[in-house]
Structure 1
Amino acid sequence: MISWHQIRFGLLVFTGCSLLIFLGKSIFFPHVANQESISKYTFPDRITLAGWEPLDSQPLNNKYPQPPKLVSSRVYQYRQQTITLTIEMRYTVEKGGNLIEFVKEYTPSQISSLGTAAREDRYQESTGFYTLFTSNNQAYLVSCINPRGSSTITAQQFNSNRYKYDLELPRLVSWLMGTENLRDLRCLWTQLSIPLQKLPQKKAYSLLESAWIEWYKWWYPHFPKV
């Protein structure tokens, strides 16, 4: 005869296995909660950047076919004396923070400049990870602003943020209520660039880093809401 303890143990095992399967599916095959709010976002027309005079901003005229995970994009231009700074912003969902994949999909002409010997990966405590490189007589700084956690340039860094910040109790409650995904795979891909005609590379990198810190400071609290 089957005892009550055996029945209870069986139910606990079944419930535990079901929960593990559900968690695994949510982690590795996440659906997009609040799809309507995620898929509709408009970048602001104007953003103040300390030390730079704003010139113009407009929707980004993408040169290459864009993946469906791109929600919105915009390009901003600023001036400091005779130097022009261009900032391209792309808001993506379900793509993660892999720099090489980003460049292949959005700016493939730069892929040859992203070998480990050609680029400089750096870290600032106030922002996170970013990379610097040159291509076609331009200096670039590229990074992924995360919804939570510091900026990233590799899938490993991005996933580390997801496991560290996305599994906090308030988000778990939202996930159980169906208002948020368990893992938030959104990213604000940020690309800053300066022409090298009038500047040595070291000076250009310094200007890009200073602008990046101010840009990140504005965007982190203004990351698109779900």
Structure 2
Amino acid sequence: MYWEKNRIKFLALIFSTGMLVLGKVILFPNPVKPKVNTFVFPEEVPLAKWQLSVSSPIESLTKENPNLVAEKHYRYVKNDLPLDIQMRYLQNLYNADIGAYIKQDFAVTSPPVMRQQKGVGYYGVGVEKQKAYLSSCINPRGNSTFTHPQFRENRYFQDITFDRIMPLLQGKEALLDKRCLWVHLSIPLRKSSPEAAYQVLEQVWFSWYRWWQPRFPKP
């Protein structure tokens, strides 16, 4: 009963928004395509119990990606353990499959294991070349995602809201906000087990996500 009631409201919202957008297209057939503002990653992001040692640009294959807006590499150290965090701000994603991205950019050969944390979302963990990694996509709205279906579901249920109707009609925002902050964390395994390394990465990820989600770049 609860789902049926909310499903009707959701379908009504989609219909209303669609009619408004259609009316705008008919009256103004050459709308300006929403643009993503220039964004620069901060030089330092606070991370409790970790000391920042490196903050630099990224040299990677992603530079050939037309959806790439900005990227940054951070390295932190705690008790001589280095932690690398790579951030990429992507737009206009038609495929938000993080598994495919890490396979391309980090030459990961073994499939990652997907996990979920309440209040944060989905992420993937794995081991490659004696390094444990964690990768995920911070969404503009809704929890983090790892697969494209998760990302797509967020867009339909989080982006289509009444409070976004005016920006949509004014051409300031797209109907579906297909942007993503791709986060990739990694630490060397050394003598620890993969599971112990995952726990370290998860603690960092949960803290990192909570700092970044409310600071997601403005469209």
**Deviation (angstroms), 1:222:** 0.7
Q: What does residue 102 of structure 1 align with?
A: 101
**SS of residue in 2 equivalent to 1:192:** strand
Match of 2:110 in 1: 113
Q: Which residue of 1 aligns with 2:170?
A: 177
Q: 5 Å matches for 1:69-148?
A: 69-95=67-93, 96-107=95-106, 109-110=107-108, 112-114=109-111, 119-148=112-141
- AA aligned opposite 2:115: R
Partner of 1:8: none
1:57-99 deviations in whole A, cap 9, x for unaligned? 1111115652111111000001110211000000000115212
Instruction: Give the match's secondary structure for 2:110.
Output: helix
Partner of 1:197: 190
Deviation at 1:173, TM superposition (A): 2.1
> Gaps (5+ residues) in structure 1?
1-15
User: Based on CA coordinates, which of the two structures has the bigger radius of gyration?
Assistant: 1
CA apart distance, 1:130 = 0.3
Partner of 2:88: helix, strand, or coil? strand
Partner of 1:58: 56
Distance between the aligned counterparts of 1:183 and 1:154, measured in 2? 17
Identity of aligned residues (%): 37
Q: Distance in 2 between matches of 1:102 and 1:165?
A: 24
With structure 1 as the length reference, what TM-score do the two structures score? 0.80
| Partner residue of 1:47 out of 19, 42, 45 | 45
**How much has 1:152 moved relative to structure 2?**
0.1
- What secondary structure is seen at the aligned counterpart in 2 of 1:188? strand
Residue 220 (1) aligns with residue 219 (2): no
Aligned residues: 196
Quote the offset at 1:53 in angstroms. 1.2
CA contact (8 A) 1:67 1:105 kept: no
Superposed, 1:26-45 pairs within 5 Å as: 32-33=33-34, 35=35, 38-45=36-43
Report if aligned partners of 2:33, 2:171 keep a CA contact under 8 Å in 1. Answer: no
User: Do the aligned partners of residues 94 and 63 (structure 1) sit closer, same or farther apart at CA in structure 2, a change above 3 Å counting?
Assistant: closer
Change (3 A) 1:44 1:169: same
| TM-score using structure 2 length | 0.82
Match of 1:75, as an amino acid? H
Query: Is 2:143 aligned against 1:150?
Result: yes
Give the Cα separation in 2 of the matches to 1:44 and 1:120: 30
State the one-letter code of the partner of 1:202: E
Q: 2:87–2:183: 8 Å Cα contact kept in structure 1?
A: yes
Gaps of 5+ in 2: 1-15, 26-30
Using the alignment, how far apart are the partners of 2:151 and 2:88 within structure 1? Answer: 16
**2:161 maps to 1:168:** yes
Indicate if the aligned counterparts of 1:66 and 1:105 stay in contact, CA closer than 8 A. no
